[in-house]
Amino acid sequence: MIVKSEFPILEYSTDKIAVINPDREASKADREGQGAGGFGRFPRLCLVTFFEEVLEGAVEQYGGEKIGTYVSEMKDFHVYRFSVEGTEVCAVQAVVASGSIAMMTEMLYGSGVEVIVCCGGCGVLDDIPEGAVIIPVRALRDEGASYKYLPPTRFIELQSGPILRFREVLSGHGIPYIECATWSTDGFYRETKEMVAYRREEGCRAVEMECATMAAIAQFRGKVFGQILYSGDILTGGAEDYDDRDWNNNVSAREKLFALALEALCRL
């Protein structure tokens, strides 16, 4: 059934079978006796990370094996399998923004993944120190892809299971953290001073581009998804005093968050 609206972005189909489905390649390979993408079905646990350099280090550390590839016009994003203290996981570098991450998320779930933990950086809308650990508990749906999976709502609530595992891991290491709503937006260059203030009024303390989309797909597909972030640039001022805090070169925060996310993933 088509749920219609005055605005096309709010229209969606309740039919779960599309013309092109995310398990198409895996199902075809299974029929031909090759496994997903010619490599084999993926482990049930998957870490999706925006930290390419940290992922490369983990692949070397754990002896990762390439088991598949998300093919993109940007580049090929390889999926690696490795074992962490006896638990088999896979990991891949994330693509950026809602439309792209929707396709990657679907590919992973369609290839045998049941649980995704995503780790990345985010902007902050409050006076939060650089590198602080943030657990999103709900995401404001100011992006496009989530509306193709779920009826329109202002927020999507994140699943309790991953949140509990994040709390356990962080508390076990004595690491302070912030739980908050995150603003998932497609409009990177439309984060105006007044819009930042408006989102803060709604309770958002972080801003990124993918959380609402991935959460919506997990809910639609009956899978598991959780995200953990570190605070990067700060958007509390105006254009004249914006400070990116060199956030994407914060190597220690990226390595720490990757390790924490991996530990939480292995508990799910």
pLDDT at site 36: 46
Instruction: Name the one residue in this structure whose structure tokens are 């998957």.
Output: 46
Nearest to 121 by CA among 245, 8, 254, 268: 254
Q: How far apart are CA 39 and CA 55, in angstroms?
A: 20
CA atoms within 13 A on the CB side of 87: 15
Instruction: Name the one residue in this structure whose structure tokens are 């580049």.
Output: 75
pLDDT tens-digit readout, 136-153: 999 999 999 999 999 999
Instruction: Name the one residue in this structure whose structure tokens are 């801003």.
Output: 207
Asked whether 145 and 213 are in contact (CB, 8 A), the reply is yes
Q: Quick one: pLDDT band at residue 155, thresholds 50, 70, 90?
A: very high
pLDDT tens-digit readout, 205-251: 999 999 999 999 999 999 999 999 999 999 988 888 788 888 888 88
> How many CB atoms sit inside 10 A of residue 58's CB?
21
Asked whether 80 and 65 are in contact (CB, 8 A), the reply is yes
| Residue 106: C-alpha distances to residues 146, 221, 223 (Å) | 12, 9, 11
pLDDT tens-digit readout, 169-202: 999 999 999 999 999 999 999 999 999 999 999 9
Nearest to 180 by CA among 224, 221, 128: 128
pLDDT tens-digit readout, 43-100: 999 999 999 999 999 999 999 999 999 998 889 999 999 999 999 999 999 999 999 9
Nearest to 118 by CA among 209, 214, 33: 214
